[in-house]
Amino acid sequence: MMIVPAVIVGGGAIVWRLTEPPSARAALVTIVEFSDAGVRQGAVQRLQVVRSDADWRAQLTSQQFWSARRGTTDTPFTGTFYQSHETGIYRCVCCGNALFSSADKYDSGTGWPAYSAPMAAENVWTRNDASFLMQRIEVLCRLCDAHLGHVFDDGPPPSNLRYCINESALRFV
């Protein structure tokens, strides 16, 4: 995967993946399924969703593609989810995996949707992210490897976590 710094902003480089990641083989992963009403259905094994860039581009808007498939970040305070208080669940825009519940959503004041925990730890995974000349923890969808956002340790008790998630990576149900 080719990662290229694009812009220097406030001493940090805005970095995104410009080329299609190498073709991955679909691995068997365990996720927890939820109904659209948020009822836990149980753990299941599924093959990861692996598609070409052309297929992702056909399915997603340009913003969704660049955010979820290339790791860019939505502009804060431009969406609607960060200020929404509707009851429901947030699914991955790419594969429909249940990611976050409105019950765990809170106003972090950052302009991005924030959650204290995922609906099920099995449904996301994390990795180190050294972009912007800082160390962060990237959050990805377990089922399709979509970039969701980052997790920080400045959230509310009891988890003290803030899952700062891009609206364009989510679909509200």
Mean pLDDT rounded to a whole number for the chain? 89
Sheet containing 162-165: give its strands across: 105-106, 114-115, 162-165, 147-152, 136-141, 124-129
Under DSSP, the state recorded for 75 is: P
pLDDT digits (tens, 9 = 90+) for 10-67: 433 344 455 555 556 889 999 999 999 999 999 999 999 999 999 999 999 999 999 9
Average pLDDT over residues 125-131: 94
Dihedral Cα 57, 63, 65, 69, nearest 10 deg: 170
Average pLDDT over residues 67-90: 95
Predicted local confidence at residue 131, as pLDDT: 84
Average pLDDT over residues 138-150: 98
pLDDT digits (tens, 9 = 90+) for 87-102: 999 999 999 999 999 9
Catalytic-residue membership of 164:
yes
pLDDT surpasses 50 at 6: no
| Bigger pLDDT: 98 vs 3 | 98
The pair of structure tokens assigned to 102 is: 């409105």
Predicted local confidence at residue 26, as pLDDT: 84
Average pLDDT over residues 56-84: 96
Predicted local confidence at residue 23, as pLDDT: 56
pLDDT surpasses 80 at 154: yes
DSSP notation for 44-60? EEEE-----HHHHHHHS
Average pLDDT over residues 113-132: 96
How far is CA 143 from its chain centroid? 11
Active-site residue identified among 92, 141, 144, 164:
164
Alpha helices in the chain (DSSP H): 53-59, 62-64
**Under DSSP, is residue 159 helix (H, G, I), strand (E, B) or coil?**
coil
Whether the Cβ atoms of residue 124 and residue 141 lie closer than 8 Å to each other: yes
**Under DSSP, is residue 114 helix (H, G, I), strand (E, B) or coil?**
strand
Q: Are strands 114-115 and 170-172 parallel, antiparallel or unpaired?
A: unpaired
What topology is assigned to 26-172 in CATH?
Answer: 2.170.150
